[in-house]
Chain A
Amino acid sequence: MSLFFRLVAVGALVVCSGAPAHGAPASSAEVTAGNRFNPDISVILEGNAYRDDEGGEADERIADAAGINEIGGGHGHGGGHAGEAIGFNLKPAEFVFSASVDPYFDAYAQFVVTESGDLNLEETYLTTRELPAGLRVKAGQFLSGIGYHNEKHRHQWAFIEQNLPYQHLLGDHGLMGTGVQLTWTPLTPVYTRFGVEALQGDQAVVGRFDGEDRIQDLEDIPDGALDRFADPKGGPRLFNAFAKLAPDLGYSHELQMGLFGVFAGEQQEVHIEPDHVLRGDYGVVGTDWVYAYDAPHQYGKGDLKISAEYLYAVKDLEVAEHAAQPKVGDDRTFREDGFYVQGRYGFAANWRAALRYDAVGAGINEKTVGATGTSESWDASHRVSAVLTWTPTHYSRLQAQWSGSDIATESGRERVSQYFLRFIASMGQHGAHDF
């Protein structure tokens, strides 16, 4: 029943906002006239047909890749990872509203309705319009400005699944949180942009805080000893910074380079067998590179875009509570890196092909125990993906993708193949083409 009401509410919002002025028949109304005071609206639909050679479990295998974060579930941390089912999948439908609020603010609100009827608020924020000196403040819930891929929405991704370094070192959806961002675009002869963010920090991977629910699983530690681990201190607990630079290469070429850092000051992990609680901080540094060639042809023919990012994550934790008391205070340091390289080329009008290679733990993937100085390391996991895209117009897209993964797990290496057919359709005032 509640699902019905939610859908009605969304439907009503869309209808009200899109209704043409003065009761003009919708078929002859101007898009802009109908929207004169109302927000720009777009609705994005996405679905896929899926198959893998693991009986539908390929996503779990990939999420379980050995590393410093147990994102897949082995230890039961529900990271909200929704794998694809064999057959047809409908992805959450996105509803996006944006408008200027008044002379001082623009606002953006995006919510998604999932196949099961859940309504989730995604990016929802205000941005300033009038700040001087190239300054801009964003406040609300938003995708962090770090890296290149992070700010892209699902439907803008060239590949259907999140890349391995983001998935394993940042989180399945990248970094999105509630807080504020300040960016500065100084008046320089080459493009530069700097940003800092303070976010509340409720994340599944970076600044993960297990808290109350997971503590209850610890049977070997007396209850009272764990009370102090129940709640985080409050926020903000996640701090990010980024810088971007793009030299002037003329009209056809564009290169953007970026550096970023992520720091979560309150990481808390609850582990079982033996029962113990780890606390400390989580940091990531990374660099992002994008090159684009804009060919003088229509419908994307000849266009080329290559992007690559490298991430290096360190978890610096301390044993805060342990079923075997002597270990309390002992250091545990975890280090893992990851990268992706992807390129896409418009080989014909409206057709593009893209390739991606991504890996985690290829450079470093280890845990060091402070007291003994011993370390344990895990193998790297790799994946190759290829996708063929047909974009009949600017508003619809059909894709066929294959991914082959070679995953390191605790029980040896696993090879999995995945096949996707995906459609994306967007209605209404479509968001702009960001770089």
Chain B
Amino acid sequence: MATASDKIRRARPLLGTFVEIEVTGAAKSAMNTAIDAAFEAVAWVHRLMSFHEPDSDVSRLNREAFVRPINVHDWTYQVLQAAVEMHRRSNGMFDIAVAPELQAMGLLPGANDQNPIDAEARAFDPIELLEGQKVRFRQANVGIDLGGIAKGFAVDRALEVLRGFGAAGGIVNAGGDLAVFGEAPQAVHIRHPRDPRRLICSVEITDGALASTARRFDPFQSADTASSAIIDPVRRRPAPAIDGATVRASSCMTADALTKIVMIAGTDATELLEHYNANALLISTDGDVQITPDWHHAVYLAA
């Protein structure tokens, strides 16, 4: 059955979704070894940053970081640095400390027995990054969830592994958050947020990352959409008016985090997108598609 081919694509269930990895332009055995190592990098990010795994860095921080500084893995520290910077630059719109709200909504397990802190009583920046990869929370009852950024980081690490194996090209797609490298442009089709069976457009991408966020739906239950899992940290409730957002950036971590801001800020996110050298496409509740001006040449709409 093993035929000579210059391309291998495989998929595994990881990060609560399907992670798909493709490599091109190397010997078959080398490509399979690279894909195995890339899947391992994704699994490692999951073990470090899962809210659900009791031994993850995130769970250790949520249990103890208010009591004492906690030492975390270099990768976790990098993600926290990026998240804290994104939080500051977006004036709090990007916020990893919304775990108590997500728990209260039933979107994360284990509702806090103590009440979440009032929005007013909460410090703007409760996460303190210390020397030597140590992290401390400035307030009690702070709960972080890296669900809005860690998937993008996992994609970046997997792509880095593929590059390290000297493949000509590759793509890592973690349930829609993806990154590509190599000469050949890739076409990515974006689902319609209100009807996941429909594809709304095709986006062309070369050497870069693309992340998407949409209102929540469960493809096994129904195509009907439920409310978004994006919380507006200022109003502490689900963000309105936009059904879906897709962001292109040089890293998938940045693209992943920026989708959350675009879902809340819409076209007001322009300045921040420019700062991160990113482009965006958003689908508003009235069905209109809006694209940042320097990017529409790469977007092909279904019509």
Whether chains A and B associate is no
Q: Name B's A-contacting residues (CB within 8 A).
A: none
